[in-house]
Amino acid sequence: MSLPLKCSLCAEVATVHLSQVVGGKVTKVHLCEACAGKGGAVDPAVFQLADALHAPGPPAELTCPQCGFTDVDFRKRGRLGCPACWEIFGGALSPLLVKVQHESAHVGRAPLGVAPLGQLRQRLAAARTAMAAAITAEDYEVAARLRDEIAGLEAALNPA
Amino acid sequence: MSVQEILADDHDQARASGAQAVVLSTRIRLARNLAGQPFPGWAKAPQRLEITERCITALTELPRFRRGHVLRMAQQTDLDRAVLVERHLVSKELASGQAGAAVISRDQTCSVMINEEDHLRVQVLRPGWHLRGTWNLAEQLDDALAGSLPLAFSESLGYLTACPTNVGTGLRASAMVHLPGLCLSGQMDKVTRALGQDGLAVRGWLGEGTEAAGNIFQISNQQTLGLSEDDILKHLGYWIKHLVEQEWNARRKLALDEGDKFVDRLARSFGVLRHARLLSSAEAMNMLSHLRLACDLGCLPEALRDQVDRLLIEGQPAHVQVRHGSALDSDGRDLRRAAVMRAALQAFPEVGPPTA
């Protein structure tokens, strides 16, 4: 039996083996559990990101005016530079968001003092569906109550 | 403030009790960032330092953190940082950097990591399975935070985070579960696959990238965008309830099918822990897992489970060294760990047949 491979970064026994093919050349990296964890290689969520990010891409086209972060930086790091980056790179990130999050819009809570519009939109959609069902079922009492709720939510979402 | 104070604190006792047969603890984590500031991974060192101090000032003014602990990572020894990781108070990532800090409530239930991957990682950790109560506490803390710091938020994307895997709610809800029944009966791969297919991650004892020693796993939501906090909690709650049932079914079936062989397995683990002179961390955790199972099934008095849970923490490498008073090499730790186990188990009765 051959000796166990050692981690490329420290002397521990390697248990994670990665092969990367760049331009037809195969590079093999052997890592121990701890070093692989640090690099995110054993976390499926991060690794999926790396797949998307490490595809060879064009030179930087977008730069965040607030922090100087570019789309090339994002391809390297998989993390953004600052909150304003989301506005700059948001459009380009959309397919990635759908890939890792399956959705592209927030529906949860908002900080105090900020209207939780996502929640309101979700409630509005639910109320409209429920009203249609109530009308089909000829339950006009429920439908009337939902109509009022819908009017209230619409007013909150589109203040005059 | 020092890690020694955290270890010596009276609340420590309370924190380590109240775990349940399958669910050891419930955790809520919220990722938050300051508006207009570069994320920690992109910020320059002076900016990171300034953000750390600004967050510490804001947090220590909140009632929840009154008389709490403030720990700047740069001021901690390697061993103290490792202790914090083993107690799940900070992540490995925070502990490995210099610019971060942690603010921890007096009762050690709430902690905020500053300058980890995001500016703020709010964390509420409670023993046992209390998803709603833990969430309510996190929500209150989040509101208090938003009242004192400007948080980065977008109407369409929610809370803005450094990594796209956290954007939206920034919420990671998780349960730490002990699954010896499913592991011993070889069902864990199937369970991990099923959970993964339904959007839940299964990780080891110390989170991302760690192995599942002691049959203990952390189960958490993956998706943070396009689902409300309530949806995320309900989804996790549904699966944990199901998992607890499956685990109990597996335990009962093992006890019934294997009979004396099953009790013998638990009793042998007890014997090793009670008499061994050298114990590695992994071996100790796996034997303690059997002891925990013995408490759950009535092979040992159920009241001893809290003590077993404490030993799971005390047997970790950094804890063994800190309790010893100095750094030890691997052999020294194994010797010391075995002594801790022998002393703690002296008063334990014999392992008997299951009664539960």
- How far apart CA A85 and CA A71 sit, in angstroms, is 10
Determine which of B30, B39, B198, B229 to mutate to test the interface with A (most A C-beta atoms within 10 Å).
Answer: B39
- Average pLDDT of span A64-71: 93
Say what the pLDDT of residue B37 is.
97
**Cβ separation B42–A113 shorter than 8 A:** no
Helices within chain B (DSSP H only): 3-8, 11-15, 45-60, 78-86, 92-96, 131-148, 180-184, 188-197, 229-258, 260-275, 281-296, 305-314, 317-324, 330-345
- All residues of chain B having their beta carbon less than 8 Å from the beta carbon of residue A116 are none
**A83/B contact by beta carbon, under 8 A:** yes
B150 vs B111: CA distance, rounded Å: 19
Record the pTM. Answer: 0.80
Q: Would you call A62 an interface residue with chain B, using a CB distance cutoff of 8 Å?
A: no
- Give the pLDDT score at B109: 92
Query: Does A152 touch chain B if contact means CB atoms closer than 8 Å?
Result: no
Question: Which chain A residues are Cβ-neighbours of B201 within 8 angstroms?
Answer: 44-45
Contacts of B156 in chain A (CB under 8 A): 105-106
Instruction: Calculate mean pLDDT across residues B48-74.
Output: 95
pLDDT tens profile B233-263: 999 999 999 999 999 999 999 999 999 999 9
Residue B148 identity: S
- Do B320 and B314 contact (CB within 8 A), yes or no? yes
Residues in chain A within 8 Å Cβ distance of B146:
111-113
- State the pLDDT at residue B14: 43
The answer to whether the CB of B157 falls within 8 A of the CB of A105 is yes
Q: Do B209 and A40 touch (CB under 8 A)?
A: yes
Nearest CA in chain B to A79: B163
pLDDT of residue A157: 73
A116 is written with which tokens?
Answer: 């939780």
Supply the pLDDT for residue B128: 92
Angle (CA) B195 B31 B147, round 5°: 140
pLDDT at residue number A14: 75
Residue-wise pLDDT tens digits, A69-125: 998 899 889 999 999 999 998 888 888 888 889 888 888 888 876 766 667 777 888
Kindly determine whether residue A38 and residue B209, on different chains, have CB atoms separated by under 8 Å: yes
- Give yes or no for a contact between B317 and B323, defined as CB atoms under 8 angstroms apart: no
Is the pLDDT at A155 greater than 90, yes or no?
A: no
Distance, in Å, from the CA atom of B62 to the CA atom of B148, rounded to the nearest integer, reads 9
Q: How far is A152 from chain B (nearest CA, A)?
A: 20
Q: Tell which wins on pLDDT, B106 or A17.
A: B106
Write down the pLDDT at residue A52: 47
Q: What pLDDT score does A23 carry?
A: 53
- Taking residue B8's Cβ as centre, other Cβ atoms within 10 Å add up to 9
Decide if pLDDT at A48 tops 50: no
Confidence tier at A1 by pLDDT (50, 70, 90): very low
Kindly report the average pLDDT of chain A as a whole number: 76
Cβ atoms < 10 Å from Cβ of B5: 11
Residue B171 β-bridge partners:
B30
B78's CB contacts (< 8 A; 6+ apart) are none
Residue B15 pLDDT > 80, yes or no?
A: no
The pLDDT score that the predictor gives to residue B328 is 96
Q: Give B223→chain A minimum CA distance, Å.
A: 5
Pick from A69, A87, A100: CB nearest B164: A100
With 60 as the cut, is the pLDDT of residue A21 above it?
no
User: How many contacts, defined by CB atoms under 8 Å, are there between A and B?
Assistant: 143
pLDDT tens sequence across B156-204: 899 999 999 999 999 999 999 999 999 999 999 999 999 999 999 999 8
Work out the minimum CA distance from A20 to partner chain B, whole angstroms: 20
CA distance B135 to chain A (A): 13
The better pLDDT of the pair A19, A110 is held by: A110
Q: Which of A24-28, A52-56, B319-323, B326-330 has the lowest mean pLDDT?
A: A52-56
Q: Could B226 and A107 be called an inter-chain contact, meaning their C-beta atoms sit closer than 8 Å?
A: yes
The pair of three-digit structure tokens given for residue A139, joined into one six-digit string: 């339950």
pLDDT value at residue B257: 95
Tokens read off for B231? 């949806």
Q: Find the CB nearest A106 among B92, B139, B225.
A: B225
* Residue B285 near residue B315 (C-beta atoms within 8 A): yes
Q: How far is CA B136 from CA A98, B123, B127, B295, B348, in A?
A: 29, 12, 15, 31, 38
More confident residue, A36 or B194: B194
Per-residue pLDDT band at B132 (split at 50, 70, 90): very high
Return the percentage of chain A with pLDDT > 70, whole number: 64
Nearest Cα residue in chain A from B93: A38
Q: Angle at the Cα of B174 (from B245 to B17), degrees rounded to 5?
A: 75
* Helix or strand holding residue A48 (H, E): helix A44-53
Q: Return residues 96-115 of A near B (CB < 8 Å).
A: 96-97, 100-114
How many Å lie between the alpha carbon of A134 and the closest alpha carbon of chain B? Answer: 24
Closest C-alpha among B204, B32, B175, B27 to residue B116: B32
Q: Confidence band (pLDDT; 50, 70, 90) for A50?
A: very low
| pLDDT value at residue B211 | 58
CB A107 within 8 A of CB B226: yes
Chain B residue with Cα closest to A16: B209
Lowest mean pLDDT among B10-19, B135-144, B289-298, B323-332: B10-19
- Residues B200-240 have pLDDT tens digits of 999 987 655 555 689 999 999 999 999 999 999 999 999 99
Distance of CA B191 to the CA centre of its chain: 20
Contact A79 B165 (CB under 8 A): no
Chain A: closest CA distance from residue B255 (Å): 34
Distance, CA of A15 to CA of A8 (rounded, Å): 11
User: Which residues on chain B are in Cβ contact (under 8 Å) with A66?
Assistant: 36
ipTM of the complex in this document: 0.85
Q: How far apart are the first and last CA of chain B?
A: 44
pLDDT of residue A10 exceeding 50: yes
pLDDT for A160 beyond 60: no
pLDDT at A147: 92
A90 in contact with chain B, both atoms CB, cutoff 8 A: yes
What are the residues whose beta carbons fall under 8 Å from the beta carbon of B145, sequence distance 6 or more?
B32, B58, B59, B62, B112, B120, B122, B151
> Residue A15: what are its φ and ψ, rounded to 5°?
-120, -10
Contact B41/B289 with Cβ under 8 angstroms? no
Q: What is the pLDDT of residues B265-289, one digit of tens each?
A: 999 999 999 999 999 999 999 999 9
Confidence of residue A56 (pLDDT cuts 50, 70, 90): low
* Spatial CA neighbour of B86 closest among B30, B12, B21, B174: B12
For the segment A121-140, the average pLDDT, to the nearest whole number, is 88
The H-or-E segment that residue A149 falls in is helix A140-157
Residue listed under structure tokens 């064009």: A58
- Asked whether B108 and B6 are in contact (CB, 8 A), the reply is yes
Beta carbons of B322 and B80 less than 8 angstroms apart: yes
Please provide the distance, in angstroms rounded to a whole number, between the alpha carbons at the two ends of chain A: 77
pLDDT at A125 (0 to 100): 84
Q: What is the model's pLDDT at position A126?
A: 85
The pLDDT, as a whole number, for residue A25 is 56
Whether A37 and B209 lie within 8 Å, measured CB to CB: yes
Q: Is residue B139 pLDDT above 70, yes or no?
A: yes
